[in-house]
Structure 1
Amino acid sequence: MATLTHPQPTPVEHDVRSLGAVLVSAVVLVALLVGAAGVLGSIVDLAGWALSSS
């Protein structure tokens, strides 16, 4: 009687490009958050200046 052997799945290698994409997206997200914080700070500063000068 012959035994059937199923082919073993090849190990999945982690792709370096996917890691690079994750790192780039993290850098872009941090840059957007820093930019939004700067814009919000400018708006608050402008509002404070407008209210104090009247």
Structure 2
Amino acid sequence: MKTFYEYFLDEVQRRQEMGEIDPEKARRWVTEIKTQLQEYAEHQPAAPIAQMPVQH
């Protein structure tokens, strides 16, 4: 099972390949979510969000 971050990366790549977003926007999105997850992990060290598999 994929983590939230892996699922997010796949979705950004899919949208970029479909032409829905440009490479610069894709980089901004990935950087922003990575930063937010890192900040959250620093403030909530026991939080499993970055490792938790996505439930569909």
Answer yes or no: same fold by TM over 0.5.
no
Q: Which has the larger radius of gyration?
A: 1
Q: TM-score range by the shorter chain?
A: 0.3 to 0.5
TM norm structure 1: 0.43
